[in-house]
Amino acid sequence: MKNTKETLLQVKNLEVTYHTRLGAVSAVADVSFDVYRGEILGLVGESGCGKSTMGKALMRLISPPGEISGGQIILNGDDILNYNEDQMRDIRGRRVSMIFQDPMTSLNPVQRIDQHGIEAIEVHEPKTKLDQALERVTKLFERLGIQKRRLTDYPHQLSGGMRQRVMIGLGLALNADLIIADEASTSLDVIVEAKLADQLREIRDEFGVTLIVITHNIALVAELADRIAVMYAGRMVELGEVHEVFDNPLHPYTQGLLASVPNIELNEREELYKMSGEPPNLTHPPTGCRFHPRCPKAMDICSRYQPSFQEVSPGRFVHCWLYQDHPEKDSPTIKVAA
Amino acid sequence: MNDQTKSNNNSDILVKVENIKKWYPVQTTFLDQIFTQQRDFVRAVDGVSFTIKRGEAFGLAGESGSGKSTIGRLTLGLEQLTEGRAIFDGIDYSTLSVEENRKLRRRMQVIFQDPMASLNPRMSIGAAITQPLHIHYPEKASEHRDMVLSIMDKVGLTPPLFFYNKFPHQVSGGQRQRIVIARALVTQPELVLADEPIAMADVSVRAQLLDLMVQLKKEFNLTYLFITHDLATAKYICDRIGVLYLGRMAEVGPLREVYANPLHPYTQALMAAVPKPNPHKRRTHPMPEGEIPNPINPPSGCRFHPRCPIAKEECSRVEPELRELRPEHAVACHFADQFVK
């Protein structure tokens, strides 16, 4: 992944709107980014920032009253927003698959584990023989640490960590290129979560699969991801290589967010940064930059115009007026060293 | 009635639990009950002792199923003990009548994880915070409103009059947790059980709430029993910490001492598993095998032995007791001496 960056997925100016009784909520607003083949992209933000909506939008799983109201999602050169339902069914599972927070709601409680895998293969590859499908499933699950004898168990007989591994296995069963893990480790205990993180990294290395890890756990992204994308109030505010962003966060929101993450190490960050306020209600988002009411560095221009999501150094994008020029801006633009 | 519920004891120790156990019977069918001799129990808490000093924040950490929430409820006398003694300010709950217990309870309060689940959606914020005063101090009815407005101001629900007549659904998640904190503190308790109080809050709000809890502790000279699964958060509030594994205390000691020199292999694994917000310090240690076992049939001997990297034959036979290996820092492991720095 390091040198030859092949773009797997391109998101361009994506907009997702929910039409609610209280008016239109723009849950994802003008978001653009690329995903490279074989990388782990961590997508972080607080509740309501649009990160899960974004994950669902990438598989076109937004259902009414929500809709994808604009933009493009280009997977391997094709805009999937133009696909019909049959084509989408082929994409879901076979090309892109998703792991959710609670595996119990994703797994069928009256279906055995091996049947879940076989069903997925049968639906997408109807020519596969049953014994071949079973063999593939068995091999794959064994690789993920689920013994053969457990394959005839029902979901409730497995532990939380095992269920989540079954979900990963189902994602891999059809050799999907891209797996979107939406808070996949959130309900797990720390040790199990750490093991799941190890496993995600291993399957990336072994199967070359691309992962988008959606989480509110910023420390987990530091542990796991190659690149990090930060969302706030429906907008992507910063994107970059994970070491660069943690070492030198550019957007004031990223700066505050990273400084408020607890660190277990003694003599490291003994005081947490206390960001003022709370995320806004998206039926009436703040004008201009949506972060300006909470921003310690807000300028006049921030409440009036929305900054663009600009590349400030190679591979580093930020959505902030501090780093952009504008005729009406009254303070100097900060230059970012490459 | 001799009033046992007033403070009758000037010692430093506010809470003391001795070898407490809580076993829940496993539900079985009627026929099973007739034909099987032995009943199964979930040993949620199986012999735990600790003390909490006045003005201290004591943390209980552990994974799900470790018994931390049950211990919290037992410590406040909210559940019957299967065995052992729970003592608050020198008073053993089991010696009190129901009425005396109720009176004692005004000196302690609870903050739960999910504010939406602990607030009545049809009760205004002002009414919700007044409720404990109605119950515990009905004789002071004329002062209630002032007490409520003053505590609302202290927890950051400002201006209090703006929030007083609003309902929980009209305010943000962070503000809801502030309501729950205000409701817990309005009766001026001495002991506050905080059971994952900020686990639901977002990162940016979490730091505000943690800071608030630290401030309030100082201002009202509170004693906290802080229950959490998040060791990183505990660092910012707790003075001492106990690490639980499957209903037993694995390690207990001053927080900074335990974090600097974790002695139990389980504590070591738990601390290594916590992700660090620094990509330069990624974890390289492998994690222990398996998951927390079933508390109905816990492993023999040391409960951690099937997953323990340093387990020896003895560990599966002899259950280790807590031993103090450094001042105030005790560990339940036969072979922990090698880790003492």
Condensed to tens digits (0 to 9), the pLDDT of residues B149-179 reads 999 999 999 899 999 999 999 888 889 999 9
CB-CB contact of A193 with A200 (8 Å): no
Q: Ranked by mean pLDDT, which of A107-121, A272-286, B48-62 comes out on top?
A: B48-62
Return the pLDDT at B10.
Answer: 60
Angstrom distance (rounded) from CA B83 to CA A255 = 50
* A173: nearest Cα among A206, A146, A133: A133
Interface contact flag, B204 A257, Cβ < 8 Å: yes
Interface contact flag, B274 A47, Cβ < 8 Å: no
Return the pLDDT at A338.
Answer: 64
CB-CB contact of B277 with A222 (8 Å): yes
Interface contact flag, B275 A217, Cβ < 8 Å: yes
Return the pLDDT at B37.
Answer: 66
The CATH label, of 3.10.20.90, 3.40.50.300, 3.30.930.10, 3.70.10.10, for the domain at B13-107+189-198+220-339 is 3.40.50.300
Return the pLDDT at A1.
Answer: 43
CA distance A297 to chain B (A): 17
* Residues pairing with A92 in the sheet: A96
Taking phi over 0 as left and psi of -120 to 50 as alpha, with beta for the rest, A79 belongs to: beta
Looking at chain A, the whole-number percentage of residues with pLDDT higher than 70 is 99
Contacts of A198 in chain B (CB under 8 A): 286-287
* B275: nearest Cα among A216, A38, A102: A216
Q: How high is the ipTM of this complex?
A: 0.84
* Residues pairing with B270 in the sheet: none
**SS3 readout for A186-241:** CCCCHHHHHHHHHHHHHHHHHHCCEEEEEECCHHHHHHHCCEEEEEECCEEEEEEE
Q: How far is CA A36 from CA A48, A184, B45, B193, B288, in A?
A: 26, 21, 49, 47, 33
Residue A263 has phi, psi (to 5 degrees) of -120, 125
Q: Is the pLDDT of residue A306 over 70?
A: yes
Residue environment code for B48-60, b if the CB has 16+ CB neighbours within 10 A, otherwise e: bbbbbebebbbbb
Interface contact flag, B270 A159, Cβ < 8 Å: no
Angstrom distance (rounded) from CA A148 to CA A331 = 65
Which domains does chain A carry?
7-95+176-323 (3.40.50.300)
Q: Is the pLDDT of residue A2 over 70?
A: no
The residue of chain B with its CA nearest to that of A227 is B279
Query: Domains of chain B: which residue ranges?
Result: 13-107+189-198+220-339
Interface contact flag, B260 A217, Cβ < 8 Å: no
Return the pLDDT at A3.
Answer: 53
* B160: nearest Cα among B139, B135, B142, B178: B178
CB-CB contact of B234 with B61 (8 Å): yes
Q: How far is CA B293 from CA A1, A267, B299, B300, in A?
A: 39, 34, 8, 12
Residue B245 CB burial class (10 angstroms; 0-12, 13-18, ≥19): buried
**A296 Cβ under 8 Å from any chain B Cβ:** no
Q: Is the pLDDT of residue B99 over 80?
A: yes
Looking at chain B, the whole-number percentage of residues with pLDDT higher than 70 is 96
Write out pLDDT tens, residues B189-210.
Answer: 999 999 988 887 888 888 889 9
**Which residues touch B284 (CB under 8 Å, ≥6 apart)?**
none
Share the mean pLDDT of chain A.
89
Which pair of tokens denotes residue A225? 């991801």
| Strand A40-44 to A210-215 pairing | parallel
Q: Is the dihedral of CA A39, A182, A236, A7 positive or negative?
A: positive
Q: Out of A160, A220, A260, name the one closest to residue B275 (CB).
A: A220
Angstrom distance (rounded) from CA B14 to CA B29 = 43
CB-CB contact of A288 with A303 (8 Å): yes
Return the pLDDT at B6.
Answer: 53
**B202 Cβ under 8 Å from any chain A Cβ:** yes
Contacts of B173 in chain A (CB under 8 A): 47, 278
Looking at chain A, the whole-number percentage of residues with pLDDT higher than 90 is 45
Angstrom distance (rounded) from CA A191 to CA B65 = 14
CA distance A277 to chain B (A): 8
